[in-house]
Structure 1
Amino acid sequence: MFGIKLKDFGISFGNMEILKNVSFDVKEGEIVTILGPSGSGKSTILRSIASLQDSFEGEILLNQTCLISGNQKCNKDIGYIFQDYALFPHLDVKENIGFALYNLPKIEKQRRVDELLKQFDLVEHRNKQIHELSGGQQQRVSIARTIAYNPKILLLDEPFSNLDSILRHKTKLWLKNIIKNLGLSAILVTHDKKEALSISDKIGILQNKTLVQFGTPQELFFKPANLYIANFLGEINILPKALMQDLRIDIPEHQTPIIRINQCHLTSTPLDTNQELLVKQSSYCGDYFELVLQFTKYSGHSITVHCAQEHEINSTVYINLQKGNILKVNTQ
């Protein structure tokens, strides 16, 4: 069982502390995504694992036997895929892929390159220069070159950021299958929450210089540790505490009641259990309208909903908030 483990990891640049007490592990065949705002240290974690960043605190363990700590380094089992692909412009496709195989005999190297060209659907592009390829093709070359020497750990730093939305979706699913089929331990850094939720076995979220929650996408989505994580992973509405009192839902002082936007459904029926609201804004978003609604009973409180039909400004609508869909999360 090959995996990777960070234990009490921390790093500072001069007097500026970037990360502290970060601990998580990645099992064989598992994809772990690290999420956090810009500058939170996501890429620094990858760089430290790959021995591109020195002077960190704590330990990084590979397969429980290879320790990266202090001056000890072991990166022969690690593959790093950069955001800009880091391809060699003076080499063609087959030469880029075979670059890491310089220790192999010529015949064996050619066999491995041919195998990768076929696996990554690049056979017809084998003799092309890098500038002749599309962004998606360049990315496949980058990944093939990294996979060429059979790493056990795969580090991916914003690997889809240079692709358009359609190609991004296709490549994400393709890469997930590659990782699973090869049984790699992968750590992905991204700012895209939907990407993280759909591709990951586990997600870790950075906040205030540390890892505040680590678990499956379902655990983080339905049981967020705090308001920041709930809002980071999906669009939410914060509900008035006075409404919670009327619904007889107890909310401790340190918690905030929320409901996800996709669980807010409008109705035209003014039942006693429904909340009355006024339409204050309406935006057309293609396959739905986004409405900003103001509670008539709870002055100053608004929520956002998505619906199939357009509504006139200042018209009255109703919403039935199911108690089971209301989450209580820590404010901090």
Structure 2
Amino acid sequence: MVSIENFGVSFGNTKILENINFDVKPGEIVTILGSSGCGKTTILRAIAGLQKEHKGHICIGDECVSSKEIYVKDREVGYIFQDYALFPHLNVSENIAFALFKLSKKEKEKRVDELLEQFNLIDHKKKQIHQLSGGQQQRVAIARALANNPKILLLDEPFSNLDAMLRYKTKIWLKNLIKKLNLSAILVTHDKKEALTVSDKIGVINNKKLLQFDTAQEIFDNPKSLYVANFLCEINQLPNELIKQLDLKIEDSEVAIIKIDKSIVSLEKSNIAVKIIDISFCGDYYELVIELTNFKNHTLIVKMQNISNLNILDNAYLHINKKDIKIINK
């Protein structure tokens, strides 16, 4: 449904994005993940037609909507902004109806009533926006975005203003809605947990480039670079000298990583001596900060369920299964 080809954006002489390529199928949720300011929202704005100047192509269905000849074409896009962008001087019904300016008054009223019912907003239809909770405001924003039956839904940090429990419930509800309506959805966020729990596919952006684009599980299990691994997982970077001692091959351009829950610290001897620098209780697990005895100033974090007999400043040993070590590009 959506195809981004060789996409790039520059503001003056400053390149923001370059050579971005990805597709979104109907019923698929794709998340663009990256740090603040990396250009995620710029991609959404360009798909919606709000960012006009860019390189490359944006195609919806079989048509390239970024060409000058058909730029004004209705893109069948619904956009949910980070701050919802609701009109404070309009009530709930009027905010939703704002997107239906092409319909007759009767048709507009019918569609608004359908959306109020669908999004459980009937009891709030005449309320002003400031009278609603954050979750209710978000539902109004989503209802407005879907009012014209778009084929594409663009979501810019849609859960950032919600508390933890409401965020969790809303993610499930919205994910099911997207699947039910068979929409092509593109979400931008800097929250890795949000990306992993919602997405069919994830693209990670850094330094103007799309570093990796794959299914959520594949990109989590097999990151192709240190940046992607650090962004999506909790990892330790192991010294190259240690990797060679473990009889694993590694090039100077590569690094060895292991997830922090894939190592064990104990008093039982191994070939990797460590000193325990700190122990933190984190509820249902402990985090240990350790220093590798033979690699001074190289510290690791280890996540463990049980730390019996271990204390701060103990000399202990690190146990690693070689199959859990991944060799990736820097």
TM-score by length of 2: 0.94
Letter of the 1:285 counterpart: C
Aligned partner of 1:85 in structure 2 is 84
Aligned partner of 2:295 in structure 1 is 298
Corresponding residue pairs, total: 327
Aligned partner of 2:37 in structure 1 is 39
Letter of the 2:298 counterpart: H
Aligned partner of 2:204 in structure 1 is 205
CA deviations over 1:49-108 (Å, ceiling 9, x no partner): 111112211110010224312463134401111001011111111221122223333343
| Distance of aligned partners of 1:14 and 1:269 in 2 relative to their CA distance in 1, 3 Å threshold | same
Is the 1:4–1:64 Cα contact (8 Å) retained in structure 2?
no
Q: Secondary structure at the match of 2:291?
A: strand
| Structure 2 residue 186 is the aligned partner of structure 1 residue 191 | no
**Superposition pairs of residues 126-165 of structure 1, within 5 angstroms:** 126-165=125-164
Aligned partner of 2:107 in structure 1 is 108
Is the 1:120–1:140 Cα contact (8 Å) retained in structure 2?
yes
| Structure 2 residue 271 is the aligned partner of structure 1 residue 282 | no
Is the 2:65–2:75 Cα contact (8 Å) retained in structure 1?
no
Aligned partner of 2:179 in structure 1 is 180
Deviates most, 198-207 or 102-111? 102-111
CA deviations over 1:157-213 (Å, ceiling 9, x no partner): 111111112211111111111111100001111000111111111111112211111
Letter of the 2:230 counterpart: N
| Structure 2 residue 56 is the aligned partner of structure 1 residue 51 | no
User: Structure 2: 5+ residue runs without aligned partners?
Assistant: none
Distance 1:328 1:285 in 2: 29
Per-residue deviation, 1:229: 0.7
Distance 1:95 1:265 in 2: 58
Aligned partner of 1:124 in structure 2 is 123
Letter of the 1:6 counterpart: I
Per-residue deviation, 1:282: 2.2
Letter of the 1:290 counterpart: E
Root-mean-square deviation over aligned CA pairs: 1.7
What is the identity percentage for the equivalent residue pairs of Structure 1 and Structure 2?
54
**Superposition pairs of residues 309-324 of structure 1, within 5 angstroms:** 309=306, 311-324=310-323
Per-residue deviation, 1:265: 2.9
Q: Secondary structure at the match of 2:261?
A: helix
Distance 1:104 1:164 in 2: 36
CA deviations over 1:113-143 (Å, ceiling 9, x no partner): 2221222121222221110001111001000
Distance 2:261 2:97 in 1: 48
Is the 2:57–2:64 Cα contact (8 Å) retained in structure 1?
no
Letter of the 2:284 counterpart: D
User: Structure 1: 5+ residue runs without aligned partners?
Assistant: none
Distance 2:107 2:314 in 1: 72
Per-residue deviation, 1:309: 4.6
Letter of the 2:48 counterpart: A
**Superposition pairs of residues 246-265 of structure 1, within 5 angstroms:** 246-265=245-264
Is the 1:55–1:70 Cα contact (8 Å) retained in structure 2?
no
Letter of the 1:148 counterpart: A
Distance 2:276 2:21 in 1: 46
CA deviations over 1:16-57 (Å, ceiling 9, x no partner): 111111111111111111111222111111111111112211
Aligned partner of 2:231 in structure 1 is 232
